[in-house]
Amino acid sequence: MKKVTLLIAGICSIGFAGLTHSICARTVSAAEETASLHEGVALPTRMLMSNIARRVSNILEGTLAGSFKYVAQEAGAIVDESYRINEVFFPIDPKENKWFLRAKIDPNDSKKITKLKEGFDVYLKNIASSALEIQRAAKSEDQKATFKAFTNMVEKTCFECHAEIRDKMIPIENR
């Protein structure tokens, strides 16, 4: 039974590594033979999402290694990072918001921006509560519970937010 669990965890980690790689995909220019990371993406957005993706990856690695103190620490860092989402995506001056430009959102459309911010708030709370659940499971040193909390966060928070907000709002050529 333990071998099956480790096999499943290994397969999931390989799949997640592929997901992480696709999040941080590089584009290569054949003429220049150079690679550029997230070309055209506004720096604060890219940095925030890269930090969260790195922490999520660290949680998976720590869970598989049984490093529960490390997992709890990384989950706490995700809670901290999640509160920066609104700062990055909804700065004080919407006219200066490069994310709005990429998503083709009129900075003067306060109703749409308010509705979008409310949606982000839901995901922000889900990220924080999911990360706290991972922390609780890690503190109990229960590998299965920690992994289950981790997969719940990825499926029910990360994937849902990207499908609902990023994939529907930002044209693929602008991502």
Mind listing the pLDDT tens digit for each residue in 125-146?
888 999 999 999 999 999 999 9
Residues in Cβ contact with 58 at an 8 Å cutoff, skipping those fewer than 6 apart: 70, 71, 74
How would you label 132-158 residue by residue, b for 16+ Cβ within 10 Å and e otherwise? bbbbebbeeeebebbbebbeebbeebb
Distance in angstroms (rounded) separating the CA atoms of residues 17 and 30 = 25
pLDDT confidence of 114, banded at 50, 70, 90? confident
Flag whether pLDDT at 33 surpasses 50: no
Q: What percent of the chain has pLDDT over 70?
A: 68
Q: Answer whether 136's CB lies under 8 Å from 75's CB.
A: no
pLDDT at 150: 95
List own/partner pairs for 69-72 with CB under 8 A and 24 or more apart: 69/138, 71/134, 71/135, 71/138, 71/146, 72/134, 72/135, 72/138, 72/139
pLDDT at 8: 61
Q: Answer whether 90's CB lies under 8 Å from 147's CB.
A: no
Q: Is the pTM of this model over 0.85?
A: no
pLDDT at 63: 95
pLDDT confidence of 157, banded at 50, 70, 90? confident
pLDDT confidence of 10, banded at 50, 70, 90? low
Mind listing the pLDDT tens digit for each residue in 49-83?
888 889 999 999 999 999 999 999 999 999 988 88
What DSSP designation does 170 have?
S
pLDDT at 54: 93
The CA-to-CA distance between both ends of the chain, in Å, stands at 42
Judged by average pLDDT, the poorest of 3-7, 18-22, 153-157, 160-164 is: 18-22
Q: Is 41 helix (H, G, I), strand (E, B) or coil?
A: coil
Q: Domains of the chain (ranges plus CATH)?
A: 41-174 (1.20.120)
Tokens read off for 36: 């550029």
pLDDT at 173: 57
